[in-house]
Structure 1
Amino acid sequence: MNEEPPVISPEPNAFWKENAKNLVSESIATVEEVAKQLITVNSALEALYFTAITFSDIKGNLTYLTGAIYLSPVLLWLLSLVFAVLVLSPKKYAININSSSDSKERFIEIVSRKHLMLKWSELFLILSFIALFTALAHYLMAASVN
């Protein structure tokens, strides 16, 4: 008996080929859409936090340490916001439109830069949740002492 594996055609599956084209063509738009969502989330969190601080009773007994605890989420949200905005900010790229390899290199450069800025934005947002939890824990412990 001859148990050779069947011959597989070297032609790629049309579905996956089209899927790969879409992934490449939509990658910048996807990264920019996530950046816009991060801008919205950061802005909403800052607004809610400022509202909560405004109506709280922490203003009277602030020290440098408690001030740093309560300002750290805001600082991290601002950093997240800055990096999300950098994803959307345009930049000049020198490109030779007659060279497909140059076009590919510029595309990879653009996507890589935007992706890196997006990752920094996400990191600062995650760190802000840790800082927010710390501020909330401090507030609740201070309230239970008083």
Structure 2
Amino acid sequence: MTEEEVESGAAEEDIPSFSAELNPFWKKNAEKLVGESISAVEDTAKQFVVVTGLLQGIYFHAIAFSDMKGAAGYSVLIYLAPLVLWFLSLIFAVIVLSRKRYEININSTRDSKEKFEEMVKIKYRYIRISGFFLILSFVALAVAVLHYLGIVPTY
């Protein structure tokens, strides 16, 4: 009996079997993809942190040295929107990079698999949210530039 059979109490007859085509290249490729999935998401989060930090710095200095200081009404919201969205993107990217403590039974392959899948799922969800806010910030930036150029009217 395997470990899973012992844990689930299932007999060999209950476990469906199928014949898999064994190809060493694709097996190694799959192992590499699974093994590097968390680090790939974390690398993307690091890039988001760098990009949002640079964009915030450049945009802040552009506002600080412009004539937008006296803006009122909706203009202030238009100019602040990209900064707020970059900040939200930064928060979710940092959450991806933060460590969480997981209790894992090292003698259980099922527990290890479940924890790994949970970690990947959570990190992937947060990086997608971060990416959404980053893309949305570019739309807000375009609106702010158009507003500055006088193409988008003020109310």
Question: Where on the TM-score scale, by shorter chain, does this alignment land: which range?
Answer: 0.7 to 0.9
Q: Give the gaps of 5 or more residues in structure 1.
A: 1-8
Query: How many residue pairs align between the two structures?
Result: 133
| Normalised TM-score (structure 2) | 0.83
TM-score by length of 1: 0.88
Taking every aligned residue pair, what percent have the same amino acid on both sides? 54
Residue 119 of structure 1 aligns with which residue?
A: 128
Unaligned runs of 5+ in 2: 1-18
After TM superposition, give the deviation of residue 10 of structure 1 in Å.
Answer: 4.6
Structure 2 counterparts to residues 1-146 of structure 1, below 5 A: 10-60=20-70, 62-141=71-150
Query: In the alignment, what sits opposite 1:5?
Result: none
**2: CA distance, partners of 1:98 / 1:118:** 31
Measured in 2, the distance between the counterparts of 1:109 and 1:35 equals: 18
Give the aligned partner of residue 3 of structure 1: none
Instruction: Give the counterpart letter for 2:34 in structure 1.
Output: V
In the TM superposition, residue 64 of structure 1 has moved relative to its aligned partner by 2.9
What is the distance in 1 between the residues matched to 2:20 and 2:49? 45
| Runs of 4+ deviating beyond 4 Å | none
Shift of residue 16, structure 1, vs aligned partner: 0.3
State the Cα RMSD in Å.
Answer: 1.3
CA distance in 2, matches of 1:81, 1:31: 14
